[in-house]
Amino acid sequence: MPRVSRAEAERNRRQVIDHTARLIREKGADQVSVPEAMATAGLTHGGFYRHFASKDDLLAQALTAAFTERREAMEQLADQPSGERSPRQEFLDRYLSAPHRDHPGQGCAAAALAADAARAEPGSPLRAAFTDGLRELVDGYARLPEPAEREAALADLSTMVGALLLARASQDEDLSADLLAAALRRLSA
């Protein structure tokens, strides 16, 4: 079997991380197996340890990638020319929306994985990556135009994550929509 170039190996590794980032947001960290993560990326699980030290290592890297996606989305909003809505309002509108609620695999890692991180052992790679990502999320939100003081950013993000988590958990469509709308109205006031 021919050897894979370094560039190809790095592409494969990146693919596994990106696919795993989606999977863990959809299913939870404990529900994603190494064979599933590798297969979703189009690879066999036999090569897993060439890319990662352990499943915990993969989960931590995938979680970091998921938080990076959210931070980059905030940075793009901050760099856009001012339109009808401020970057902060645009972020709130997107975050507290039915599409974000309905597609956790492409959404915020904080809402998708807070419970997993809370159950993880202190000092575990997953909990450490979650904490680092959460700090980045708070800092990124606070830096949006119309910057928020740290305490306000913490309160706003707590409200957003909580509303999204509760909206996802509810099987009552009206209640779910009401949770998102109420949080959006409160944070937009």
What domains can be seen in the chain, in order of their start residue?
55-188 (1.10.357.10)
pLDDT at 2: 58
- Print pLDDT tens along the chain (189 aa): 456 678 888 898 899 999 999 999 999 999 999 999 999 988 888 888 888 999 999 999 999 999 999 999 888 888 877 677 888 999 999 999 999 999 999 999 999 999 999 999 999 999 999 999 999 999 999 888 887 889 999 999 999 999 999 999 999 999 999 999 999 999 998
State the Cα angle at 77 between 144 and 131, rounded to 5°. Answer: 60
pTM of structure:
0.89
